């Protein structure tokens, strides 16, 4: 017996950016577990070895019903994004769902000490990369009858709603994701293109390791005494959003662990 959600997702082609770790990786696994009979998942990121591991894990867990295609893609490279759809093999270009998840934060510096490199990387990945990916996939959606059909699920953050000191650029990128998402939804109100945003609070992934330039000790300190969300928690919400009936748009969602109520409101056990 298959669930209603499995039936709704069955036959779809899903593209996930940033699927080599954290939320993106868990989302690929969650889609596969939810609809294991007939699904195509394109997993993308810069680390191809990690993507191949994700593909192997899915294959061993759910078998042949889910086809997984690992594709090396740096979303901050506009040329790579431009060639992405054309570079997909025959039978993989009819994308139904795009999960714009690739994103990162670099450092905790405050102006005027923010490194230009960090500023440019965050903007190019979180904002320009997400918009370029959306435009590339929207062309597929728009070519469908009645003005278009397909899902775009953007991963924002509580940081896009409540900016905090030491995160000004990251917060600005996520506020940009929020504005872009909301405008896009309004632009597509006459068709079946669903534009959604999932805003996580604190999730334990490689996120903080990246923020602290690989310093695991500093990253671990972020989660000391708290009980953060897992990437699986967010993956469940993403798959739920994609698995709604066609006329249901889960436009917006904010997900906290129970110890958190804003970037600064954290209950920390001493
Ligand atoms: N963790 C949190 O607390 C939290 C809270 C709110 C929102 N978020 C958002 O959730 C999303 C996923 O983050 P995460 O927590 O799962 O962190 P993560 O474990 O570090 O995963 C980030 C993913 O993005 C990919 N990525 C980074 N730069 C990329 C690029 N230029 N091109 C393609 N892929 C790139 C990474 O893969 P490669 O390095 O292999 O390219 C990795 O797969 C991000 O947008 C983040 O801002 C996270």
Checking if the pLDDT of 80 tops 80, the result is yes
Residue 170 annotated in active site: yes
pLDDT at 140 (0 to 100): 98
In a domain? residue 267: no
Q: Which of 205, 208, 231 to mutate to test the pocket of ligand 1 (most atoms within 8 A of CB)?
A: 205
Contact 233, 198 (CB under 8 A): no
Q: Is 206 in the pocket of ligand 1 (CB under 6 A)?
A: yes
Please say whether the beta carbons of 19 and 43 come within 8 A.
yes
The confidence band for 1, taking pLDDT boundaries of 50, 70 and 90, is low
List, in order, residues 6 or more apart from 156 with CB less than 8 Å away. Answer: 174, 177, 178, 181, 197, 198, 199
55 domain residue, yes or no: yes
Range of the domain at 80: 4-255
Query: Mean pLDDT of all residues in the chain?
Result: 97
Give residue 92 CA to ligand 1 midpoint distance, Å: 24
pLDDT band at 252 (very low <50, low <70, confident <90, very high): very high
Based on the structure, what is the number of domains in the chain? Answer: 1
Q: In this structure, what CATH number is given to the domain that contains residue 145? A: 3.40.50.720
45 lines ligand 1 (CB under 6 A): yes
pLDDT 10s digits, 122-146? 999 999 999 999 999 999 999 999 9
- For 1, 43, 174, 218, 250, the CA distances from 195, given in Å and listed in that order, are 30, 20, 16, 36, 8
Q: What confidence tier does 270 reach under pLDDT thresholds 50, 70, 90?
A: confident
**For residue 38, is pLDDT > 70?**
yes
Does the pTM surpass 0.95? The reply is: yes
260 in a structural domain = no
Residue 247 lies in a domain: yes
What pLDDT does residue 2 have?
Answer: 74
């Amino acid at each position: 017996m298959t669930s209603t959600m499995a039936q709704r997702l069955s036959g779809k082609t899903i593209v996930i950016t940033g699927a080599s770790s954290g939320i993106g990786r868990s989302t690929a696994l969650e889609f596969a577990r939810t609809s294991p009979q007939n699904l195509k998942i394109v997993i993308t990121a810069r680390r191809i070895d990690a993507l191949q591991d994700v593909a192997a894990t899915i294959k061993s867990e759910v078998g042949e019903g889910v086809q997984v295609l690992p594709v090396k893609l740096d979303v901050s490279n506009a040329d790579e994004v431009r060639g992405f759809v054309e570079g997909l093999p025959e039978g993989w270009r009819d994308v139904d769902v795009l999960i714009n998840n690739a994103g990162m934060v670099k450092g905790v510096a405050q102006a005027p000490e923010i490194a230009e490199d960090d500023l440019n990387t965050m903007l190019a990945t979180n904002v320009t990369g997400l918009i370029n990916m959306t435009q590339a996939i929207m062309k597929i959606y728009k070519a469908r009858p009645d003005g278009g059909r397909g899902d775009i699920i953007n991963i924002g953050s509580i940081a896009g709603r409540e900016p905090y000191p030491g995160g000004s650029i990251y917060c600005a990128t996520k506020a940009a994701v929020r504005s872009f998402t909301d405008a896009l939804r309004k632009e597509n109100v006459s068709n079946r293109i669903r534009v959604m945003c999932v805003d996580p609070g604190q999730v334990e992934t490689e996120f903080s390791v990246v923020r602290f330039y690989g310093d695991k000790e500093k990253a671990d300190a972020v989660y000391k005494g708290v009980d953060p969300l897992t990437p699986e928690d967010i993956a469940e919400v993403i798959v739920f959003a994609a698995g709604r009936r066609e006329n249901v748009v889960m436009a917006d969602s904010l997900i906290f662990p129970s110890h958190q109520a804003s970037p600064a409101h954290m209950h920390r056990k001493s």
